[in-house]
Amino acid sequence: MAAAEAVRAAGAVRAAGVVAPGGVVGVRSGGVGGRGFAVVAEVDATIGQDMRYATARNFTGAVVDGYEEPVCLLARPAAEALRRAQREVLRRGYSLLVYDCYRPQRAVDRFVRWAGDVADQRTKAEFYPEVAKDRLIPEGYIAEKSGHSRGSTVDVTLTRLGRGPLDMGTPFDFFDPLAHTDSPRVTGPARENRDLLRRVLGRQGFVNLPQEWWHFTYRPEAFPDAYFDFPVSVASVHR
């Protein structure tokens, strides 16, 4: 999507939002619809969704603050780019599957509180078996601000049509150097699958975060300086 459209989208959401200290944007009752944010299922219903933070199946072990519904919301230019990527992978016999999209600041704050509670080790074996919990923030696995809160970042994998997700070498949200996109320890089909995902999304303007094979940001971002805090729900876009 052209930079001009990203600028128009930014204007639409900023008209509905209130910039608070620290760059966090609240949302007035007018919502963030129109040219701002989109419900991805309404842009392309074929994109799979497994919205982990709207369930207890995530590293916190509980539904995360701000996830009122298990829906993927993105800034409209990013949603349209994801649709283009989906068209390509469908022709190859695959589908995109998203784990997280827009993430409100209150959810990011919840992650930080969770990381600071070193007594809670319930999910260690699944999500961070080799990293001490008190190292998750210093080593960059958990941050006080997330690009997801700007609306152009998506956590995504590939599935084969009619089957489950492809082997990517680690699960989603695995806090370990093994999850680095170019980890030399990941070889064979998992390496090929990571490379395929990165190539397909890269052709549509998504840039991978090297520390997480699943993390991609569409550029230019519609809202590069904002961190939104409206809840994850269809109503947030449509009202």
Chain-centroid distance, C-alpha 235: 19
> Using alpha carbons only, how large is the chain's radius of gyration in Å?
17
Please give the Cα distance from 28 to 98 (Å, whole number): 28
Please give the Cα distance from 197 to 208 (Å, whole number): 10
| Nearest of 217, 213, 231 to residue 63 by alpha carbon | 231
* 160: β partners: 94
Active site residue 212: yes
Classify the C-alpha dihedral 59-60-61-63 as positive or negative.
Answer: negative
Please give the Cα distance from 208 to 156 (Å, whole number): 11
Judge contact between 111 and 142, C-beta under 8 A: yes
| Nearest of 146, 134, 100, 120 to residue 60 by alpha carbon | 120
Q: How many CB atoms lie within 10 A of CB 138?
A: 10
Distances (CA, A) of 146 to 1, 20, 112, 203, 217: 22, 16, 11, 23, 11
Tally the C-alpha atoms within 13 A of residue 225's C-alpha that lie toward its C-beta. Answer: 9
Q: Among 80, 130, 212, 221, which one carries the catalytic annotation?
A: 212
What positions carry a catalytic annotation? Answer: 212
